[in-house]
Amino acid sequence: MAQVLILPGWQDSGPTHWQRLWAARHGDVVVEQNDWRFPRRGDWLARLEEVVIDTPGDLVLAAHSLGCIQVAAWAAMSHQVGRIRGALLVAPGDVEREDLRQQIPGWAPVVQARLPFASVLVASRNDPFCALSRAHAWACAWGSDWVDAGDAGHLNADSGLGEWPEGRALLQRFWKET
């Protein structure tokens, strides 16, 4: 089975977020960042590269919000992408939207290149940080399978997902694929 790397978004995932619950229950590795409040793109990409290099075996990525944007940017520049079995991309944050561009500078434009590994993008119809149409456009650009999560907010702890078994089931598909 592949090791799961958890990629939280801006301001990190709190203790009741599905990402942190997965790490506690399943031993997934959280890619910790030096600065969750003021994320610098280069620092985040370098940290992901470092963790991928230092973690043996095949890997699966489980990204939320800004972590999704990080995956697209990292995949476009890394020589380690062949080790990734797949990526679960959940509720990408629209860093090209004017309010988020000002709060999280340096992340726009979002990389539009097809991901070199299998992926599935899950988005909500009422996510306050990204319109469904934008998330769907990124799924198309990245070559990701698409899952419409309905009205589920930002698919975080506030959404009441708990350990989010539906998301874990989507992630497990990458353990079966070659």
Average pLDDT per block of 10 residues along the chain, 178 residues long: 96 95 97 96 98 97 98 98 98 96 96 98 98 98 98 96 97 78
Q: What does pTM read for this prediction?
A: 0.97
> Do residues 66 and 96 lie in contact, with contact meaning Cβ atoms separated by under 8 Å?
no
Closest CA to 93 of 118, 77, 78, 73: 73
Residue for token pair 């506030």: 158
- The contacts of residue 49 (CB under 8 Å, 6+ apart) are 74, 78, 80
